[in-house]
A and B are shown apart, each in its own frame.
Chain A
């Protein structure tokens, strides 16, 4: 937050000082959300509320210098949750200065970077920490303090990142829904002696060759995924201890784009959690345009994922899984769309059903429906401990 304040000060001083005209835009989204849990909580200490409301605010600011060379972009995030103290949280999703040069783009501040192509597992994506209290899909991410540089030419594009400060993954409160059996320990353990201040470095090369887009990425630093080990707190209570290892990771993400077919592949190898691990996530998306004579498009998705990791590495639910689903875009005035399907563990038969639907109402409102349901859970998986916390949620947002 202190860095954010400093950046804001720089912009406010530099802007008027240089006498340049600027564009300033303030906007955002204010929303209310209701999660409904059809089943009773599993653990006696857990809240027994079946309905859990929350409110969310995401203000945004954009300041652009004359000529468009300098940009200040910011996005805050705040949620107030009725039952989960950890989910009631604030974050700086993005706040930083961008220089858009003719030869390069530079950025310093809290940033976001997304790598990858597959829908379900974001295998190679590593720059930002997951905001785990928000959802199970890993698509909500904490702002990452960084300095980055993008170079681009006919040879492709190269992103380089220096990540000086580590952010810990967030977890639901143990007595809230999705909290699991044990509370998290007060503080995390780091393999690196410098703890959170151990700088990470990352880079990604991206290129398009005809119908193929691919990225080659590398990361060296603190793992975004923690190992969770049962432990005992100072007070003698059982807790889950998060431990963050120092890792090196190399990844490839590639997509081949046809007229109605997308082929996607992500491959990753990582050292640092004991035995080196290998993982792959790949799939196909085939779209039927104007399906059944309507204006809508129906995309059929299938993705498979495999991960070699053993018990010494952070647990994953994507060990040997397949996702089969559909994406229906109605192409109507309200931009109505539905995405969903089951993720099935091929070894245990454990199933996770994911549904996301949304549509605009009027010009400033949006209605979303989400479902995260669990079935046939494997007693050895993490999902088993939250098996009764499957939920559906309805959200309404006002954009301003």
Chain B
């Protein structure tokens, strides 16, 4: 097996009712400044969403991935994930994903030390060989374990990864959303651009449209059932990625979110990967 991926973390923002965040949002002032250029306003929306998810520390969750093809055939994977918020020069977060099913890849574990613009460091533990392998992380746009999620869809969505342009504000379900276009600044992306719907209430990414390298609509990601965890971190219960070109969908169902579970840097090392719990 040669899978590699990164956990999704900051994809969906949270609201922080702290002075810091309020100041951050106020400074960003995404609403109602007609004089602001679309690029500035788009960046401000992204920064507001990011500021809402600062300080989560570490978390664990269980994830079920349901793959469906055009004929409706289903295939399911169960994964256990752990993540650690990391700050530093160009550094992103750290994460471990352990497969629980299908059974033939049970125990396979992927460790990622992500970076904002540079390639991530990744190690894969293969239980059959009891071998930890460092793997290349250049394959950003390839499918993750046969799903409609690419690796780049699952990594932490740091602000600096994209260039932004605010498009409009429009209703999204019961909420209002800022609709912002973003262009990947990192290398090897499979996308020409993405369009994100962030709700104005809590700055959560409700929907993302992905356009392929030829700028044709490829996929749509929608998030459902947002709940607040820990000290005000929003996470969805369910995410659905629909591929418009091949008719396949992948659904991610999250369970058992646990924030502040006591994970530390030394839980995210290659030599601990074999016994990642």
Listed in ascending order, the chain A residues whose CB lies under 8 Å from chain B are 27, 29, 64, 68, 71, 98, 100, 102, 105, 112-114, 117, 139, 150, 152, 157, 159, 206, 208, 211, 213, 255, 257-262, 287, 289-290, 295, 297, 299, 327, 329, 331-335, 337, 360, 363-364, 366, 397, 399-400
- B7-15, B228-236, B268-276 - interface stretch: B268-276
Shortest CB-to-CB span from B72 to chain A, Å, is: 14
- B28-36, B90-98, B128-136, B203-211 - interface stretch: B128-136
For A257, give its contact among B134, B143, B269 (CB under 8 Å): B134
Interface string of B95-123 (1 = CB under 8 A from A): 00000011111100000000000010100
Residues on A with C-beta less than 8 A from B103 are 27, 29, 363-364, 399-400
Q: Is the CB of B129 within 8 A of A297?
A: no
A117 to B270, CA, bound (A): 14
Q: Is the CB of B139 within 8 A of A287?
A: yes
Q: Which of B244-277 contact A (CB under 8 A)?
A: 266, 269-272, 275, 277
Residues on B with C-beta less than 8 A from A27 are 103, 106
Residues on B with C-beta less than 8 A from A262 are 134, 136
Q: Which of B53-91 contact A (CB under 8 A)?
A: 67, 69, 75-76
B145 at the interface (CB under 8 A from A): yes
Residues on A with C-beta less than 8 A from B271 are 150, 152, 157, 159, 206
For A360, give its contact among B104, B135, B139, B272 (CB under 8 Å): B104
CB-nearest residue of chain B relative to A336? Answer: B146
Residues on A with C-beta less than 8 A from B102 are 360, 363-364, 399
Q: Is the CB of A112 within 8 A of B277?
A: no
State whether A152 and B142 are in contact (beta carbons under 8 Å apart), knowing that A27-B103, A98-B275 are contacts in the complex.
no
Q: Is the CB of A331 within 8 A of B104?
A: no
A400 to B102, CA, bound (A): 10
Residues on B with C-beta less than 8 A from A289 are 138-139, 141-142
B201 at the interface (CB under 8 A from A): no
Residues on A with C-beta less than 8 A from B138 are 258-260, 287, 289
A295 to B150, CA, bound (A): 10
Shortest CB-to-CB span from B46 to chain A, Å, is: 26
Q: Tally chain B residues at the interface, Cβ within 8 Å.
A: 39
Shortest CB-to-CB span from A356 to chain B, Å, is: 12
Residues on B with C-beta less than 8 A from A113 are 130
Q: Is the CB of B139 within 8 A of A363?
A: no
Residues on A with C-beta less than 8 A from B146 are 295, 331-335
Residues on B with C-beta less than 8 A from A98 are 275
Q: Is the CB of A105 within 8 A of B275?
A: yes
Residues on B with C-beta less than 8 A from A258 are 136, 138
B137 at the interface (CB under 8 A from A): yes
Q: Is the CB of A152 within 8 A of B101?
A: no
Residues on B with C-beta less than 8 A from A112 are 130
Q: Is the CB of B136 within 8 A of A152?
A: no
Shortest CB-to-CB span from B157 to chain A, Å, is: 20
Q: Is the CB of B105 within 8 A of A335?
A: yes
Q: Is the CB of B76 within 8 A of A208?
A: no
State whether A213 and B104 are in contact (beta carbons under 8 Å apart), knowing that A259-B138, A289-B142 are contacts in the complex.
no
Residues on B with C-beta less than 8 A from A333 are 67, 69, 75, 146
Shortest CB-to-CB span from B111 to chain A, Å, is: 11
CB-nearest residue of chain B relative to A359? Answer: B104
